[in-house]
């Protein structure tokens, strides 16, 4: 006679007891997370994970998030009149002068980054108010290089 195992979980026909225990534990976690309002605490390994419910086009999604996500820098719509560097680099040449009338697509300056020369162009028509950089200067990311009036 073969030894039998006893299981506390109710197994479905055709499934193993391990799968039944796993589905039972995940069902407990899901009911625990969905029982609270918008923010829920669910178990994730030995640690507790915070969950948030997002509703996009009528569909509900539950996602885990952490403090890094909560403290992230919020996105701001860029001002087209303030030209900033998108990558750190060195200013090779400045093509414009203060007070000059410029058109969309005219070159502003030449920025060398990672051994590549990037020609920065004006995004809109306008007049140059001030130039904050000079040739040979090293600029960090998001540095204000030029302002338009």
CA 80, CA 132: separation in Å to the nearest integer?
Answer: 16
Query: Which segment of 12-16, 32-36, 70-74 scores lowest on mean pLDDT?
Result: 32-36
Instruction: Decide if pLDDT at 106 tops 80.
Output: yes
Let me know if residue 122 belongs to a domain.
yes
Domain span holding position 66: 17-70
Average pLDDT of the chain, as a whole number: 77
Other Cβ atoms within 10 Å of 51 Cβ, number: 20
CA 64, CA 119: separation in Å to the nearest integer?
Answer: 41
Confidence class for position 4, pLDDT limits 50, 70, 90: low
Phi, psi of 121 (to 5 degrees): -110, 155
For residues 134 and 94, the answer to whether their CB atoms sit within 8 Å is yes
CA 124, CA 139: separation in Å to the nearest integer?
Answer: 23
CA 84, CA 74: separation in Å to the nearest integer?
Answer: 17
Let me know if residue 31 belongs to a domain.
yes
Q: Scan for tokens 């701001």, then name that residue.
A: 76
Please tell me whether residues 128 and 88 are part of one structural domain: yes
Instruction: Decide if pLDDT at 134 tops 70.
Output: yes
What does the pLDDT average to over 89-102? 96
Q: What is the pLDDT of residues 46-68, one digit of tens each?
A: 556 677 788 889 999 888 777 78
Let me know if residue 75 belongs to a domain.
no
Let me know if residue 9 belongs to a domain.
no
**What's the pLDDT score for residue 40?**
44
Please tell me whether residues 53 and 106 are part of one structural domain: no
Let me know if residue 1 belongs to a domain.
no
Q: What is the pLDDT of residues 18-34, one digit of tens each?
A: 555 554 544 444 433 33
Please tell me whether residues 87 and 131 are part of one structural domain: yes
Number of domains forming the structure of the chain: 2
pLDDT greater at residue 7 or residue 58: 58
């Amino acid at each position: 006679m073969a030894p039998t195992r006893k299981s506390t979980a109710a197994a479905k026909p055709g499934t193993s007891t391990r799968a039944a225990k796993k589905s039972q534990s995940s069902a407990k976690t899901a009911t625990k997370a969905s029982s609270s309002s918008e923010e829920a605490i669910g178990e994730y390994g030995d640690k507790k994970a915070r969950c948030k419910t997002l509703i996009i086009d009528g569909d509900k999604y539950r996602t885990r998030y952490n403090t890094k996500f909560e403290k992230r820098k919020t996105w701001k719509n860029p001002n087209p009149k303030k030209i900033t560097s998108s990558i750190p680099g060195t200013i090779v040449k400045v093509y414009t002068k203060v007070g000059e009338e410029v058109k969309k697509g005219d070159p502003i300056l030449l920025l060398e980054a990672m051994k590549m020369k990037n020609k920065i162009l004006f995004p809109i028509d306008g007049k140059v108010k001030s130039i904050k950089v000079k040739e040979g200067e090293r600029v960090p990311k998001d540095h204000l290089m030029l302002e338009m009036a």
